[in-house]
Structure 1
Amino acid sequence: MKKRELGKSGLYVSEIGLGCMSLPNDLSEAKNIIDAAIHASINYFDTADLYDGGHNEELVGHALKGRRADIILATKAGNKMNPDGTSWTWDASKAHIMEAIKKNLQRLGTDYIDLYQLHGGVMEDNVDETIDAFDSLKKDGLIRQYGISSIRPTVIQRFLDNSSAISVMMQYSLLDRRPEEWFPMIQQAGASVVARGTIAKGLLTAEGLARAEQANGFVDYDAAELTRTVQALSEQSADLHAAAIAHVLHDQTVASALIGARTTKQLLDSVVAYDNLVTDEEIAQVQRIVQLHTYREHRL
C-alpha cells in the first residue's frame, strides 16, 4: 500500500487508514480487524477519547500492543465527558487538553501520540490558548504532530494560520464534496486532509442502493435524489467501492482515506477495492454524476 506525507511533517501514512470508531467492543474481534489491517500494510489508526467513553482507545491500545513502532497512531481531545458518562461538554482550554492527554496515553498504553487532533472547534474558543497546549505537548515529546478535526472553514483557517498543524480531518466522499472548495487553503497552509466517511456509510459500495433506499437522504441529497444518484453511480461504475476510494485519493491534498469496519470482511472489502485500478477517466465519469454541494455556514 502506498503512503503519503501528512503535511510537511515527515510522518508517512498509508493511503487507507482505519477509522477505529466502528470497531466492535469485543477485544478479540477488534484485534482480528486490526491484525488484518496491519497485514494489508495499513499503518494509520485513528481513534478519540470520546468514542465509547474512552473504551475504544483501550481496545486499540491492547490490539496494537507490541507493534507501536510500526504504526502512526492518531487520537483526539476537546470533548469532556460529563459525570453521567453519556454526554459531553466542549472544552478547548489548555487545562483540559493538558489533562486529557494523560488519559489518552494511559488508555492507549503508549508514551506518545503521533497525531493529536482537536476534536471540533468554534470561533468562540480561545484559539491561542488551545494552540499553546498542543505546542507544549509537542515540545514535551508527548505528541509528535497535531491537527484539527472540523468541517467549519472559519475554524480551520484560523487554526492553521496560527499554528503548525499538519492535518485537517473532514467528512469527504463522492457524495459529500463540500471540502474540495477549501483544499487550496489547506494545502497552502502546508497541511493535509484526512478524509473520514470515505464510502459514505456504505452508500458507495455494492450494498449502496439497498442502503440508499432505507436512508432518509444524505448531506444535501433528499431521499429520492440519493437513491437516483447511487443508482446512477452503480450503473456507471464497474466497482463503485473502488471508484469511491479512488475519488477521495485523487487530489494529493488528501493524505489518507479512512474506512471503518465492524468485521474483518468489511475491512478486506475496502482493501480489495483500494487495490482495484480505477482510471482518471472513470473517476471523472462518476464525479460528473454527483452534485457539488458547498458548506452553507461557517464560510470564510
Structure 2
Amino acid sequence: MNKRQVGDSSLYISEMSLGCMSLGTNEAKAKEIIDGALDAGINYLDTADLYDFGENEEIVGKALKGRRDEVILGTKVGNHFNKEQKDWYWDPSKAYIKEEVKESLRRLQTDYIDLYQLHGGTMDDPIDETIEAFDELVQEGYIRYYGISSIRPNVIKQYVERSSIVSVMMQYSLLDRRPEEEILDLLHTNNISVLARGPVAKGMLSNNGIQKVEQKAQQGHLSYSHDELKNMIGNLQKHIGEERSLQALALQYVLSHPAVASAVFGASTTEQLKENISMLDAPELDPSLRAQLQQETRPIVYQNHR
C-alpha cells in the first residue's frame, strides 16, 4: 500500500488507515480486524482515550502485542471522562493533557505515541497552554508528533498559525465537501496533512448506499435533504462496476486532494475491512472523472462549526 508523509514529520502512513472507534468490545473480533488491516499494508491505527471510556485503547494495545513496531499509532485527548459514571467534559488544560497521556500509554501498553491529537477544540480554549502541553510532551519523549482532530475552521487556523501540528483530522467525503472551501488548500500550503475521517459517510457511499440513506438519513445529512441524498448517490452509483465499488470511488476521491495523507475508515467486521481495501484493486481516478463527481455532488460550507 502506498504511504504518504504526514506534514514535515518522519511519519509515513498508509493512504488508507483504520479508525478504531467501531471495533467494539469483543477483543478477539477486534484483533482479527486489526491483524487483517496490518496484513493488508495498513500501518496507521487511530483511537482515542474517550472511545468506550478507555476500553478501546486497552483493546488496541492488547491486539498490537508483538506488532507495535509495524504500526504508527495515533490517539486523542481533551475529553476528561469518568469511566464509572460514563460521562465527560471538555478539558484542554495543560495539566489534564500531561497527566492523561500517561494513562493512554498504560492502556496502549506502549512507551510512546506517534501522533497525539487534541480531540476537538473551541475558540474559548486556553490555546497557548494547550500547545505548550503538546510541545513539552514531544520534548519529554512521550509523543513523537501532535495534531488536532477538529472541523472548526477558526480553531484550525489558530493552530496553523501558533503551533507545530503536523496533521488535522477532519470529516471529509463526497457527501461532506466542507473542507474544500477554506481548509484543505490552507493546510497544504502550510505542509500540514489531513487525516480524512468518514470517507464513506456512514456507509452511504457504498454499493448499498441508498439502503443506508433509508436507515440513517431519513431527516437528511448535513444540509442535504433525504431526496437529494438519494439522487446524488444514485448518480454516483452509475460509475461503479466490476472494477470499482462506490466505496473505492469515495476513497479515491478523498485521496485525490494533495493535502490528504490518509483516508481513515472504521470497520466493525472483517467484511467491511475487505470492502474498503478493495480500493487497491480499482483503476486510478482520472481528473475527468473527479471533475464529474464534483458536478454530481454539491459543495457545502461550515456554518455552525466555527
Contact between 2:92 and 2:130, CA under 8 Å: does it hold in 1? yes
Q: Which residue of 1 aligns with 2:259?
A: 253
> How do 1:1-300 and structure 2 match up within 5 A?
1-82=1-82, 85-181=85-181, 182-214=183-215, 215-216=217-218, 217-238=220-241, 239-280=245-286, 281-299=288-306
Shift of 1:204: 0.6
Shift of 1:87: 1.8
> Deviation per CA, 1:82-109, whole angstroms, max 9, x where unpaired?
4753221000000000111011000000
Structure 2 unpaired stretches of 5+: none
User: How far apart, CA to CA, are the structure 2 residues paired with 1:47 and 1:21?
Assistant: 6
Q: What SS is found at the alignment partner of 1:56?
A: helix
Contact between 2:58 and 2:107, CA under 8 Å: does it hold in 1? yes
Contact between 2:123 and 2:154, CA under 8 Å: does it hold in 1? yes
User: How far apart, CA to CA, are the structure 2 residues paired with 1:133 and 1:266?
Assistant: 37
Q: What SS is found at the alignment partner of 1:201?
A: helix
Contact between 1:20 and 1:46, CA under 8 Å: does it hold in 2? yes
> Deviation per CA, 1:136-176, whole angstroms, max 9, x where unpaired?
00000000000000000100010121111000000000110
Amino acid at match of 1:211: K
User: How far apart, CA to CA, are the structure 1 residues paired with 2:174 and 2:184?
Assistant: 15
Q: What SS is found at the alignment partner of 2:18?
A: strand
User: How far apart, CA to CA, are the structure 1 residues paired with 2:109 and 2:131?
Assistant: 25
User: How far apart, CA to CA, are the structure 2 residues paired with 1:275 and 1:115?
Assistant: 29
Amino acid at match of 1:200: A
Amino acid at match of 1:134: F
Q: What SS is found at the alignment partner of 2:122?
A: coil
> Deviation per CA, 1:240-293, whole angstroms, max 9, x where unpaired?
111101000001100000111000111011001243113312222222100100
Moved over 6 A (4+): none
Amino acid at match of 1:81: F
User: How far apart, CA to CA, are the structure 2 residues paired with 1:26 and 1:255?
Assistant: 30
Amino acid at match of 2:200: I
Closer, same or farther in 2 for the Cα pair 1:36/1:120, shift >3 Å?
A: same
Q: What SS is found at the alignment partner of 2:169?
A: strand
User: How far apart, CA to CA, are the structure 2 residues paired with 1:219 and 1:260?
Assistant: 20
User: How far apart, CA to CA, are the structure 2 residues paired with 1:291 and 1:42?
Assistant: 31
- Give the structure-1-normalised TM-score: 0.97
Amino acid at match of 2:51: Y
User: How far apart, CA to CA, are the structure 2 residues paired with 1:68 and 1:16?
Assistant: 18
- May I ask how many residue pairs the two structures share in their alignment? 299
User: How far apart, CA to CA, are the structure 2 residues paired with 1:275 and 1:220?
Assistant: 33
Contact between 1:44 and 1:71, CA under 8 Å: does it hold in 2? yes
- Give the structure-2-normalised TM-score: 0.95
Amino acid at match of 2:228: E
User: How far apart, CA to CA, are the structure 2 residues paired with 1:279 and 1:38?
Assistant: 25
Identity rate, percent: 52
Structure 1 unpaired stretches of 5+: none
User: How far apart, CA to CA, are the structure 2 residues paired with 1:275 and 1:43?
Assistant: 18
User: How far apart, CA to CA, are the structure 2 residues paired with 1:237 and 1:276?
Assistant: 10
